[in-house]
Amino acid sequence: MSDNRYIGVFDSGIGGLTVVKSIVDSMPGENIIYFGDTAHVPYGTRSERQITEYVLADVRFLRTFDIKAVVIACNTADSVAKEKVKQAYPDLPVFGVVDPASRLAAETTKNGKVGVIATNATVKTGAYEKAIHRYNADATVYMEACPLLVPLVENGRFKTGDPVIEIVLKEYLDPLVEKGIDTLVLGCTHYPLLYGTITHLYPELNVISSSDAAAAKMLGTLIQNGTCNENSEAEQSERKYFVSDDAEGVDKLARVFMGDELGGTFQQVDVE
């Protein structure tokens, strides 16, 4: 049977649109609700209690629609509050971005040396090290906080050949490569836009997008559960986008993440 209920996706901002793009690319017929909690971005500067409150409010909003699954498209929120969401909504399949990417890295590294680039907040949680070691206890994980990458991506400085982003990436990645990593996890939902530039600079690296890994995990689960939407045409699917602040200001930035695949505009809503 076809299940045309929505997939709910949320992030503290709109970086989680890279997860939406990965879902659209792999499951073009799925209907999607996206919520960006732009009134409280970034979550990484908040306490665990506050992050958990925001995350549960985000899911409550998504649950006002008929959703069949939810994706926590925020590394910090995933690290801090995923289990709380599962406890609050035991009937709802909950997907994150950390575990799928970590598992893929643990299973595909050939020399056991994995690098992870992420925001300061995600690095501090230690979530990636824990997850990778769950699947490969012998792996050596090197974390690198990359605070300059998000603002550069949001300003469109992510394309191959852009000297600014290439210099910054080499500053962050050269030390990891010198340590012998053969696998690199893009541990922030902004970073998949850097995939092409990174693979151009370091063609020998196995580069893993947390957004693509999350979408692949969801696709496998929906197939297993028999809850895929049999409609396979992106043009026929429905996508709704919401933010908690400044809807007019995000449309242009959203197209940086999704281009013509956005398929909708943002509405501002109050979420309690």
- With CA atoms as reference, report the closest residue to 26 among 211, 162, 191: 211
* Max Cα distance, the chain (Å): 51
**Of the listed 9, 32, 74, 173, which one is catalytic?**
74
- Identified catalytic residue from 188, 194, 198, 215: 188
Integer-rounded Cα Rg, in Å, for the chain is 18
Strand (E) or helix (H) holding 55 = helix 48-62
Say whether 146 is catalytic.
Answer: no
Query: 133: buried, middle or exposed (CB in 10 Å: 19+, 13-18, 0-12)?
Result: middle
Packed helices 17-26 and 247-258: angle between N→C axes, nearest 10 degrees? 50
Measured in degrees and rounded to the nearest 5, phi and psi for residue 233 equal -105, 125
For 21, 44, 101, 123, 124, the CA distances from 120, given in Å and listed in that order, are 25, 8, 18, 5, 6
Measured distance CA(28)–CA(45) in Å, rounded: 34
Calculate the alpha carbon distances from 210 to 78, 118, 204, 243 in Å. 12, 11, 19, 22
Does the active-site annotation cover 228? no
Which residues are catalytic, by number? 74, 188
